[in-house]
Each structure stands twice: as C-alpha cells, then as structure tokens.
Amino acid sequence: MREGRLSGRLIALGVTGSISAYKAVELLRLLTAEGADVVVMLSPSATRFVGPLSFAALSRHPVESDVLDLLPDGRIGHIVIADSADAIVVAPATAHWLAAMANGLSGDVVTAAALATSAPVVVAPAMDGDMWTHPATVSNVARLRDDFGYTVVAPESGPLASGQTGVGRLAELPAIVDAVVAAVGGRPIRQASAAARPPVVDAAPRDADLVGRRIVITAGGTREPIDPVRYIGNRSTGKMGVAVADAAIARGAAVTLIAAAVEVALPPEGHVVRVETAAGLREALRDAMPLADALVMAAAVADFTPMAPSDRKISRAGGGLTLELSPTPDLLAEIAALGAGSGDGPGTAAPILVGFAAETGGLERAPEKLRAKGIDLLVANDVSEAGSGFGTDTNRVTILDRGGTVDALPLMTKREVADRILDRVARALDARDAAAQTAGMHPDMQEGRPA
C-alpha cells in the first residue's frame, strides 16, 4: 500500500450521472495515490457516462451499481461499503442525487450507502448553472450540509457542458481529495481487516494500466498523389501501428487510430480516422491531439510530396516525366514543438510522444533523431534485417528515451513490441501525473474542459 494522507483508509467513491463523470476515473487515481483503498459505486445514470470496467480494474474491487445486487459471497454490497468505508465521497453529485439524498430516497447504491453509514460524507456537485442556483438545489445542499453534516465541495465557475459559462463545473480534483482527507481527519480506521471490506478482484497490471488514458496512434503509409490515378507510396503495411492500437485498447486506453494505407484489419473498438496523405494526417492529428495523453507515431509519413499534382491523368504520350517534390513538414517534430501547449488550455500537461525510426544498415542516427524531434521515446529498427520491418509479424527494435537509456529488445512479435512500448508509455504517464501533483498542478486541472 502506498504511503499518503489516506494510507490504510477505505474510501467509497460514489459517481452519479453528470457529464463530468469521466473525471471520477482521475479522482480514483488521485485517492489511490494518497494510499487509499477505493471502492466505487455508480448510480444507474452514471453507468451511461462511464463503464464499470475502468473503475473495477483501477480499484481492484467489484463496482456496485445495483442496489439489489448481492456480492458473490452473499453480503449486501452497499451495506458492506457503508459499514467499512472511512468516508464516502460523491463526485460528481447531480442535482437529482442531491434531491434524492436530501429526502432520504435510497433508490440507488450511492444514496443507500450514504443513508446506511456513520462515516463522513463529502459531496462535490456538478451541474448546469441554473440548476445549481435553483431554490430546490440550494435548500437540498443546505440540508445535506447543515442537517446531515456533509462536507460540500462547491462547484466552480467556468465553461459548462451546455456551452454557457457559469457556476457548476465540478471542483478541482485535488480540492476534493483535500476535503476527503479533512473529513476522515484523526478518526481511527473503521475496518482494517480485508475480510470486512468489499472483496478484491485480481487484475494483472497490464490489463488496466492505460484505463482513462487517451492515446492517439498513427499507422500505415501515406500516399501522395501524382495525378488522380498514381501516387507516391511506401512499403508500410500498418502492422506495427495497428498492433499498438490493439494492445492499447486491451489495456483500457481510449484509442484514436489514424490509419493511412494499411493492409491489416483495423480494431473494431476504438475510434478510427482514415487519411490518405501527409497533409490529411497532419489535419487528423491537429483534431485528435488536444485531448491526447500520448501519441504513438507509427505511420510511415511521406517525406516528399509532388509539388503540383495533376488533376487529370498524365498521359505517357508526353514521353518522360519529371516530378518536382517538396518536403513535407515533420509532423512529430511539429507536435513536440507545441509541448505543453498542445493540450486544450494553459497548464495542460504535454502528451508523451513516441516516434519510430526505420533505418537501414544500423541505428547510429537514432539518438540524434530522438533529440532533433524533441520526443520522449524513439523506437528504432533496422528494416533491412531479416524478421524486422515492413510486412513481417515480428520486429527487433531498440527503444531509446530522452534520458539516454537504450533498450535493445530481442526479436519478438509486433504485438509484444507494442506492449513493451506501452509499458514505457504507461510509466511515463504515471511519472508525469506524479510530477504534476508535486507541482500542485494536476493534468486534469484544465480550463476549457466541460464540467
């Protein structure tokens, strides 16, 4: 168990159906980072915004979402939580949930557990501005705070899901964590025994280490038109990039796969954007990157494009053909240059950037490419080697990082290479979050995100 302000504590996180329910995944991470054992309860409408799988995988406890469900051992889930949690934190709490709670209506697991517990309860509302100021909500909040003794972490002012600006955005996550820490205060731990707490589900770390992470992956080769019939292409089949997408999805990431020309099946899950040219890929990246936590740039992007593609088929009757080519921008270097500004507002954490380097005859140029592109990781391989490179199912790569570490991996399947790359991405993201927390700025504290 990690040392922190909530070490040894069981915290029950109740999530209700607000657009900001996705932030609860990050709140779970923050509570865990404080050393808490966290168990999650979802109201029925919350399950329409976020799936229980992410929460179960990260919390290592079954998620309670049905007030009538029993635990596998026959115990009543929300009562076990009510009796063993050191605090219940409801974030986000909708106007509907506040009303139900103020009136003791225990129709969902979150209200039921709150009614049944003697532990402190922390509530972080999130809703539209007019709903927040409605007299019904005002009196429900007052009842929770003044009559029940709950801690209310008031919503903040900012852009709301409706497009309007007002008070209603879920409070900043570190403020909610602080309120939980304050609520448990110096109280003794209620149930230190694991047997008295909700059961533990086992999840191999790789099955879940990218839950809540948004990863953009590019795959395949771009095609630069010469005329409507012909193009300049390359030998990339997209196998490596698609393997990274498959692996990232299996590890719980929300994946956007930007696919140029590929010769393999695309993953049925995940969001796929098809592109043809380097310019199209550039545009797709511009759309996808603002919310991304990481980019794995496996696409073989054309370095040159015909300066003036003909809009009619060029006839052989003209004799020979000379094409004038202009260089394409280095897309990865462009994104790296944006740095922390590539997110959607000031203070946004910079995404982790992974590039590939297809070399022939040795990897001597790789360290300089990593440095020149300004990226975090470079996956280099010698495509002239047997078993490596285009169209093969295997690859022998060397992963270089910013810190100068060089990890020469043996020949392995592209899927295994994908997992090795994602191991490094997951670690880098955890380190980024930890650094942001130390600096008092969590990556989720971004202006401009919906409440």
With binding defined as CB under 6 A, does residue 208 bind ligand CTP? no
Piece of 27-35, 156-164, 233-241, 355-363 that binds ligand CTP (CB under 6 A): 355-363
Q: How far is the CB of 432 from ligand CTP (least distance, A)?
A: 20
Say whether residue 301 binds ligand CTP (CB under 6 A): yes
299 binds ligand CTP (CB under 6 A): yes
CA distance 295 to 121: 39
Q: Chain centroid to CA 153: how far?
A: 25
Binding window for ligand CTP (CB under 6 A); candidates: 77-85, 191-199, 294-302, 400-408: 294-302
Residue with the two structure tokens 């979150």: 110
According to DSSP, the residues that pair with 398 across neighbouring strands are 380, 408
Q: Which two tokens stand for residue 328?
A: 């394409």
Number of residues binding to ligand CTP, judged by CB under 6 A: 14
CA distance 352 to 425: 7
> In whole angstroms, how close is the CB of 110 to ligand CTP at the nearest point?
45
Q: Does position 121 bind ligand CTP by CB under 6 A?
A: no
Please give the Cα distance from 214 to 255 (Å, whole number): 6
Question: Is residue 368 a contact residue for ligand CTP (CB under 6 A)?
Answer: no
In angstroms, what is the minimal distance from the CB of 369 to ligand CTP?
6
Which x/- pattern, by CB under 6 A, does the window 155-194 give for ligand CTP? Answer: ----------------------------------------
Shortest Å distance, C-beta 332 to ligand CTP: 3
257 binding ligand CTP? (CB under 6 A): no
Nearer to ligand CTP, 60 or 282 (CB): 282
Nearest distance, CB of residue 366 and ligand CTP, angstroms: 9
Whether the CB-CB separation of 278 and 237 falls below 8 Å is answered with no
93 or 378, CB closer to ligand CTP?
Answer: 378
What's the rounded Cα separation, in Å, for the pair 432 and 442? 9
- Does the active-site annotation cover 234? yes
Binding flag, residue 355, ligand CTP (CB under 6 A): yes
Using rule CB under 6 A, residue 126 touches ligand CTP: no
303 near ligand CTP, judged by CB under 6 A: yes
- For residue 21, the number of C-alpha atoms closer than 13 Å in the C-beta half-sphere is 22
CB 41 to ligand CTP: min, Å: 43
For residue 314, the minimal CB distance to ligand CTP (Å) is: 25
**Of 140, 234, 381, 395, which is the active-site residue?**
234
Two structure tokens written together for 105: 């209506």
Nearer to ligand CTP, 268 or 361 (CB): 361
Using the contact rule CB under 6 A, the part of the chain among 33-41, 49-57, 171-179, 293-301 near ligand CTP is 293-301
The residues in 314-333 that bind ligand CTP, with binding defined as CB under 6 A, are 328, 330-332
Beta bridge partners of 413: 394
Greatest alpha-carbon pair distance for the chain in Å reads 90
Residue among 114, 297, 336, 397 that touches ligand CTP (CB under 6 A): 297
Can residue 357 be called a binding residue for ligand CTP (CB under 6 A)? yes
358 binds ligand CTP (CB under 6 A): yes
Interface residues with ligand CTP (CB under 6 A) are 278, 297, 299, 301, 303, 328, 330-332, 355-358, 369
- Residues with active-site annotation: 234
